[in-house]
Amino acid sequence: MKKILIISGDPNSINSEIIFKSWNKINKSLRKKIYLISNYQLIKQQFQKLGYRTKLHQVKSVYDKNNNFNLKIIDINLNFNDPFNVSYKSSSKFVMRSLNLAHEIALKGDISGIINCSINKKLLNKNKSGVTEFFASKCQVKNNSEAMLIWNNKNSVSPITTHFDIKDISKIINKKMIINKIKTINVQYKKLFKKKPKIAVLGMNPHNAEFRENSEEKKIIIPAIKQLKKLKFNLDGPLVADTIFINDYKKYNVIVGMYHDQVLAPFKSIFKFNAINITLGLKYLRLSPDHGTATNIIGKNKADITSFLKCINFIKKFSK
């Protein structure tokens, strides 16, 4: 029986609310497989402050022999004063230790995958990378070939670039990056979902820049698509981004955009929280709910657990 690792993520967040509410929705057989990487005292204090009651059990590792149905916590040993007002320094240390420990455990192969709860990207480092890039770096992924897939059973989207400012996108994308990421999407989608995906590739500019000779469409995107078609990939493009999500997206399994909000904003408008974030191309399966830390609703009992539960239900298929 493979275990499921959950990282509690940013301490200043709705994560403890989501963990508690989701824990009460899953059955006992699944509870036995779940191990939460967190801080025992922090979770205990947050639950108490929110008025939540559930039994917690501190363990040293996923190899501890423990057959009870309590919420098992692999403890990150740090001291916190206010459980919902943790300093930036302590939060960053806690998050980095949690992510590194999850990576080390995952490499040993006795888990079905990692689910990390939401994290403020500022806690990772001073750069603009997120958890996707963190795990790609830890797994020594070459040539920018990892891919972020926001998945719903009706459709998925994937941005070629992830957490970068719009002004930098044209400097970052290139033909090799597009080819490598779409290759990863194609291989991993077949592995996870047992079918070859039909992929739509979007242009970068409004109206595909009318295919001007100096446009990214002409110089980068079209040459990448042509090379992938020669390799028998099932894809179309470049398609225009302003109309694809009216109806045509339904024809495809994956819509690949050039930047984050080009595909995530319309996708979330359609599917709301009914989606999960999957990192493709790592040495293990990594998921996260498709939402942020939502600090504005901490303690208000308003957190939506749809995406987190979807992560658990997805990963449990690989925990047998």
- Could you tell me which of 49, 13, 87 has the C-alpha nearest to residue 294? 13
What are 242's strand-pairing partners? none
Mean pLDDT, rounded, for 150-166: 94
- Mean pLDDT rounded to a whole number for the chain: 93
Mean pLDDT, rounded, for 239-268: 96
Question: What residues have CB less than 8 Å from 74, skipping those under 6 apart?
Answer: 35, 36, 37, 38, 59, 60, 61, 62, 101
Mean pLDDT, rounded, for 275-285: 95
| pLDDT of 128 above 60 | no
* pLDDT value, residue 164: 87
With pLDDT > 70 as the criterion, what percentage of the chain qualifies? 98
* pLDDT value, residue 315: 93
Low-confidence winner among 32-46, 78-92, 100-114, 278-292 (lowest mean pLDDT): 78-92
Query: Which H/E stretch holds residue 243?
Result: helix 241-244
Q: Is 103 helix (H, G, I), strand (E, B) or coil?
A: helix
Give tens-digit pLDDT for 237-250: 999 999 999 999 99
Mean pLDDT, rounded, for 252-262: 97
DSSP one-letter code for 136 = H
* pLDDT value, residue 158: 98
Q: Which domains does the chain have, with CATH numbers?
A: 1-140+282-320 (3.40.718.10), 142-281 (3.40.718.10)
* pLDDT value, residue 127: 56
Beta strands in the chain (DSSP E): 3-7, 34-38, 56-59, 71-75, 111-116, 147-152, 155-159, 199-202, 235-239, 254-257, 276-280, 286-289
* pLDDT value, residue 264: 96
β-pairing, 199-202 vs 254-257, is parallel
Q: Which residue has the higher pLDDT, 140 or 68?
A: 140
